[in-house]
Chains A and B, each alone.
Chain A
Amino acid sequence: MRKLTVLFTIPFLLSVSGCSLSDLVDTNGYQQGDNVKPELIESHEGAKMVYRGAVAKAMTYLSSQSNMVARFTDELSIRPTTDPIDQDVRMPATSVVNEFRVFWNAGYDEAHSARIQASQSIALLKKYAEGKENNILAHAYAIEAFMQIGMADNFCSGLPLSESQYGGVFVPGKGYPRDTFYTRAIQLFDEGIKLNVDSVPIRTLLLVGKARALSALGRYSEAADVVSSVADTDSAGYKYEFNPLQSVASQIQFWTAGYDSAAGYVKNQKGVNGLKWLADNPAEQDSRINVRTLPGMTGYVAFPAPLKISAGNGFLVQANGAEARLIEAEAHLNNNEPALWLEKINRVRRLYKNLSGIQLADTVDPGTPAGRVDLLFRERAFVMYLTGRRLGDLRRMIRQYDRHPESVFPTGRAEGSQILNYGSNYVFAIGDAEMSNNPSYSKCEDYLP
């Protein structure tokens, strides 16, 4: 019996001391994979790291959206391929779920990704750098707000907003009407504006962004008031500069997609009623498009390619004085102040000389309300060419100015195809990944503009 006692006592003692094994397995904060150590995140410097991540993700979104919007609308045409690149052509209007929509999911995912990262950076900056980093905190507010605007501009009404909390809490979100997104954006911009930042570009970003959301809600006069303090000068604007050596959005997507084969080119009047980007007389060409011609192989036609994004290390302007003036012009237009409206339009055209040295002639009042709307949105299109704004504007023309979709979106036989027509989708599709995996969400409320 004594032997048995001895034999089993030692194992028992070892077993009850099992708790000490925890000390053996403690990795002492050793980094796991490419993860940042948690204690680094939960600090002033960590909050700034997360903020930088939000900026990086916002740039990824902008890089992607500028390319996608251009293709979906009339800004660019793409070399016909079997790739589902020209969604406007290939996606049947009746199809809610089809295999091509995955192509557009990237923008959706990127917008949410930047939104969540900006939200987390705001929380960290407020906790660990309160009052010390107002410029970047305001910028984080602006990023989260712009993601809300981007989703409302480009997608259907009723997008879901899920919440992810570091540490394991995930709350699947329900769908919200489009206007809710604009409203939330305004609230976020206001939070940033309250910080009274000393960075002029960030203040411009906040003010123009808020005005953009107000305009989308039809609150034109309020929008004009918000941007009244924004200067004309480009230096007052906020632009995201891309660098091929940067990590996340390595290059502007349009450039990477087609730089070596002229895959994307300026398509004059895409479909039946696309905008006439190119003048019949090259000398009269609107230099804001900055077209260059890429020769094809010997004996074949040349491509009018946009010079605006001629390399991956270009920049995308998110907000500047020109847009502020156009927002004011739209307010004048809706206040039935055509003279003031025209003055703002021509101010923007003259402003372009300051920016590029190219003098654009003043334009004249078309004389009709419809003509003024056309002219306003044409000016917006040229000013904001390849910045991912065109889809939102076309939808606003339908929603706020009673235009028929087929009068603003490309229609008719698709270029390069003898059998395919441009489709009638006015919004980017939401991927199956959302509808299949979000138990709180089933579908868009409204696919109309």
Chain B
Amino acid sequence: MLIRKQSDLLLGVLVAVLLSALILLDINIVILRPVLAVMLILLLGHTVLTVWARGLILHQAVRILMSIMLGLTLTALIGLILNYTSWGLTPQSWVLLLSGILLVHVLIAFIQRRQFIESPEQTHRLTFNFGQGVMLILAVLVVGISIMVAQIGSLNQPRPGFTQLWMTADPSNNSSATFLGIRNEEADTLSYNLVVTQGTEVLQDYQSLQLRVGETWQRSVDLSSLTEKNVPVEAVLYRSDKPDEPYRSVKLWLK
């Protein structure tokens, strides 16, 4: 009887402890962590309401509304407070503070419920009969299918393909190397020719580079030996099926 009466508070303790353990021990269980995270925010609202709305006449629908809203708004306020701490808004600081506040309120609510006789609240069981249950389960399934259809449609939308060409200095600045790269995002495997020149001088000539869809080709070239700074280094990409027609081009002015 006691457990049943305090089941919401026990659930709060369970969620807070489990989620804290998962985050602090860096255990990632795919479904469990998101479910616990949402429950932690909503249960925070519920327990705070239980403690601070003691003695108020709140109907079930109002309690649901207030639990959601207090859960969301208290999370926002706690975030604001965390911003002014040295920890900042990290997974660890979030879970410790939210769980801490939840557990304190669980304790107060527990004591309150034992010390005072609760006024009878008008609550309604949210029960469904078999037919209603089937309809709701079907609805969830159809929504799931709808989301899948939309995602498949989005990911497989017909679009024009493209090829990326680049020639740029090492982004990490760790070397004097220059990166040359090609990425094929066309509809099919393509063969490319890449010619690197400075003025009339051919510096590199890469022939018949076969790239599958989504594949990247990259080379590091050292241009530090080039002394001519007034003529840019150019890389021109050709498709092997149209070898005379420049397909992409990039250029680099040496410093």
Q: Are these two chains actual partners, yes or no?
A: no
| Chain A interface residues (CB < 8 Å from chain B) | none
| Chain B interface residues (CB < 8 Å from chain A) | none
